Amino acid sequence: MPAPDPSLTRYSRQFILPALGEAGQRRLMTSRALVVGAGALGCTALDHLARAGVGRITVVDRDIVEHTNLQRQTLFDEADANAALPKAIAARNRLSRVNSTIHIDAVIADLTPENAESLVATHRPNLILDGTDNLDTRYLLNDLAVKHAIPLVYAGVIATRGMQLTILPHTACLRCVFPEPSAAAHVETCDTVGVLGPAVAIAASLQAAEAIRVLGTDAAALASSPPPSLTEFDLATSRFRTLDLRKLHAPAARALCQCCGTRQFEFLSGSRPRPAASLCGSGAFQIHAAAPRTLALPALGSQLARLGPVQANEFFVRLHPRDGVELTVFADARAIIRGVETEAEARALYDRYVGG
């Protein structure tokens, strides 16, 4: 019998599972996952993937750790919130202490049609895990995954309810199941109706289990594996159910899909107008730069410091234009404005302090 490989020892409880095995573990260790969103879903999924030994993980997130995140975003602690660290950086710091044998890249950015393709070209993921909480990004990720034939592991959570779906190159995509972003989901968000931490943890664990299954399975076996079902649950009633998507997976049904059928990648090509601003919490708006540009943060920091106290680090510049209002500007010329009532008010502050 050959001697056990010491690099595998830490994963012994996992690869003795017949579904994974030593060969599956080696596949995980040489695979690359792109995790978009390091909020509640992303945190739990990332923790599982790092511990499972996924060899290279890229974390993309646009936000900063806040105290209100700590209820459910399990990679972060009070020190991260006090230091106002970007979530991508705080997640990388934590995950590299969890598993120093893997490589973690942190990208502080909002996923957009402009940067999505270059993220794939640079990081060459074998799998994308959707940890976001906004519809525009989810449909953009679906376009990106289908176009490049990369498996996509999707989940969504609200209040006590959640769902999980895995999209493989040979199966129905998100738009086969939900052809258009739902108007209701734009209104009902975790900020307006709340979210239970354990509900997120369940959805994210379903995602992580799917990611380990997909990355640990060889390509030929995966292509002939039974198409995934959609899992739904509600912790208020302790009910789980599985929806059989066989009809939607059928090639005749998929041929009608705008994304995986006719391959019009509307969200990725930018032909769908992307809002110039998006709601990111109650009383908070993110304003996007009109055109891609990079700000010199130190110069902006000293310019704004003439107007009042600023908080600045290598990732952002923050100031309080007036009591209760906070403006945070990132190097990619995005800004998050908190404490305002309307998008117009947020836009006005952006124009005044960041400019076009």
Q: How far is the CB of 189 from Zn ion (least distance, A)?
A: 25
In the bound state with Zn ion, the residue whose beta carbon lies nearer, of 41 and 173, is 173
In the bound state with Zn ion, the residue whose beta carbon lies nearer, of 177 and 304, is 177
Distance between CA 129 and CA 152 in Å, rounded?
6
> Helix crossing, 135-147 with 113-123: angle to 10°?
50
Q: What angle do CA 195, 227, 173 make, to 5 degrees?
A: 60
Q: How far is the CB of 247 from Zn ion (least distance, A)?
A: 13
Q: How far is the CB of 145 from Zn ion (least distance, A)?
A: 11
Question: Which structure tokens are listed for 96?
Answer: 């590299």
In the bound state with Zn ion, the residue whose beta carbon lies nearer, of 104 and 173, is 173
In the bound state with Zn ion, the residue whose beta carbon lies nearer, of 263 and 352, is 263
Distance between CA 176 and CA 260 in Å, rounded?
8
What DSSP letter does each residue of 233-280 carry, written as one string?
Answer: EETTTTEEEEE--HHHHSHHHHTT-TTTTT---HHHHT-SPPPSEEE-
In the bound state with Zn ion, the residue whose beta carbon lies nearer, of 154 and 233, is 154
Asked if 131 and 73 count as a contact pair (C-beta separation under 8 A), the reply is no
Q: Are strands 103-108 and 56-61 parallel, antiparallel or unpaired?
A: parallel
Q: How far is the CB of 257 from Zn ion (least distance, A)?
A: 3
Distance between CA 14 and CA 9 in Å, rounded?
10
Distance between CA 51 and CA 95 in Å, rounded?
8
In the bound state with Zn ion, the residue whose beta carbon lies nearer, of 257 and 284, is 257
Binding site for Zn ion (CB under 5 A): 173, 175-176, 257, 259-260
Report the b/e string of 303-317 with b at 16+ CB within 10 A: ebeeeeebebeebbb
Question: Which structure tokens are listed for 17?
Answer: 């599972």
User: What letter does residue 84 receive in the DSSP assignment?
Assistant: T
In the bound state with Zn ion, the residue whose beta carbon lies nearer, of 108 and 174, is 174
